[in-house]
Structure 1
Amino acid sequence: MEKKIALSWSGGKDGCLALDTLVKKGYDVACLVTTVPEETGRTFGHGEKVEMITLQSQALAIPVHFITCTFEGYTESFVSTIKSLKEQYHLSGIAFGDLYLDGHREWGEKVADASGLKPLYPLWMTEEDSADALKTFTNSGYKAVVIRVMEDALDDSWLGRPLDQSFVQDILGLPVCPMGEHGEYHTFVYNGPLFHQKIELTSESIITLETTKRLEFSGYNLVGK
């Protein structure tokens, strides 16, 4: 069975946990793909700087490809780029880190089919399993920090919090998805078992957006582990 695949990557815990799971199953993750809308110049998933995603790529020693798109032409740009990467890397599939939202999976299966690739969902679960998934991540050795919160779900005191046992205990006491699958919070992974180097984050500030608040880092670089 051909196992060379691409992985949809936003820089957070879900994508990282998907990567770890795929590698342990014997897949060769040939490249990461991250969408960057022209309207924002930042990643579609978390509104992150492309430079920080590039650092993750370098730390993991896996090339990342940025898919520049518009909101209106998002799917078309995604499929076009994936078709090109399929030829470049001889891909057989594309993986996504989605957990349980059917609409997200339907979209991923649609673009995979249009690209002639097999869709993979290594983390797929029921919503009730999300608390266990969070515990799996916090026990995995990967290090992540909360970089964005939805204001009607979590206040800005959650920004900058590491995903550790204290985080698990506190998030389970709130009426939100423990994994933030509905956008309650987003994370950035900066170290872990598959990282050859770790990412040092400094000089943070909080930026208020329309419905969310984001932790912005002005300092970020690779350091030895």
Structure 2
Amino acid sequence: MKKRVALSWSGGKDCCMALDTLIQKGYEVTCLVTTVPKELGRTFGHGERMDMIRLQGEALSIPVHFIECTYETYTEQFVKAVRILKDQYKITGIAYGDLYLDEHRDWGEKTANAAGVDALYPLWSKKEEAVSLLESFVHSGYKAIVIRVREDVLDESWLGRLLDESFLQDVQMTTICPMGESGEYHTYVYDGPLFSKKIQLENAEYIQLETTKKLEFKSYLLID
């Protein structure tokens, strides 16, 4: 019997790689879990609209569960939600797409333990392996676009770039982590091997979000 797990989902390349890896290892990913702050109405991870995450869930044929929380109650609400999912889906664990930041793993393990499930880190690696991980994504068949950048390290010319060979080469010329592990850039995955439909993105515009700039699409739909 396959182990049933939930997956923390931001909509970007890391969680998509985690999903693919889990499935290849024989896990059943029963649901995608996304946190949404009451204060902003956008996802905590990437400042993405909930509709964009719902589209991914539909394209992947995996239900999405939004955890509504505040900055002050983030951990408390997360644990409470995972406990509910444990009963609802009979999951034994929750997986995260984190790569090498110990503080992120510590938080994930503590919250999973509090909810009575295992914490899984299918992509866990060393900082020096970030280039190799990005290369793996570029050659994976999944399609992702840069939708947010931290303005202190990357300018808006990076917005809208596809994660392809050109991106792989250019990002290595910068001082940032090639995978953007510290939030230097965020991505949105719109197609790939596990997608039954492609998400078509159109009419993009730039919007300002505190210390970051984001690419926002005015129209988007699923196509065969």
Q: TM-score range by the shorter chain?
A: over 0.9
State the aligned residue count: 224
Q: How far apart are the structure 2 equivalents of 1:211 and 1:31?
A: 31
The equivalent of 2:132 in structure 1 is: 132
**1:68 corresponds to 2:68:** yes
Letter aligned with residue 65 of structure 2 = H
**1:144 corresponds to 2:144:** yes
Q: How far apart are the structure 1 equivalents of 2:166 and 2:55?
A: 27
In the TM superposition, structure 1's runs of 4+ consecutive aligned residues that sit over 3 Å from their partners are none
The Cα shift of 1:208 comes to 1.9
Contact 2:99 2:123 in 1 (8 A): yes
**1:215 corresponds to 2:215:** yes
**Structure 1: runs of 5+ lacking an equivalent:** none
Letter aligned with residue 117 of structure 1 = V
- For normalisation by structure 1, the TM-score amounts to 0.99
Superposed CA RMSD: 0.7
Q: Secondary structure at the match of 2:114?
A: helix
Q: How far apart are the structure 1 equivalents of 2:211 and 2:81?
A: 31
The Cα shift of 1:185 comes to 0.1
* 1:9-158 matched pairs, under 5 angstroms: 9-158=9-158
Letter aligned with residue 157 of structure 1 = S
Q: How far apart are the structure 2 equivalents of 1:68 and 1:210?
A: 21
Q: Secondary structure at the match of 1:136?
A: helix
The Cα shift of 1:209 comes to 2.4
The equivalent of 1:169 in structure 2 is: 169
Q: Secondary structure at the match of 1:177?
A: coil
- For normalisation by structure 2, the TM-score amounts to 0.99
The equivalent of 2:196 in structure 1 is: 196
State the identity %. Answer: 63
Q: Secondary structure at the match of 2:203?
A: strand
Letter aligned with residue 76 of structure 1 = E
Contact 2:33 2:65 in 1 (8 A): yes
Q: Secondary structure at the match of 2:148?
A: strand
The Cα shift of 1:2 comes to 5.3
Q: How far apart are the structure 2 equivalents of 1:43 and 1:218?
A: 17
Contact 1:2 1:92 in 2 (8 A): no
Q: How far apart are the structure 2 equivalents of 1:63 and 1:200?
A: 20
Contact 2:9 2:32 in 1 (8 A): yes
**Structure 2: runs of 5+ lacking an equivalent:** none
Contact 2:2 2:28 in 1 (8 A): no
Q: How far apart are the structure 2 equivalents of 1:216 and 1:156?
A: 13
Q: How far apart are the structure 2 equivalents of 1:196 and 1:9?
A: 18
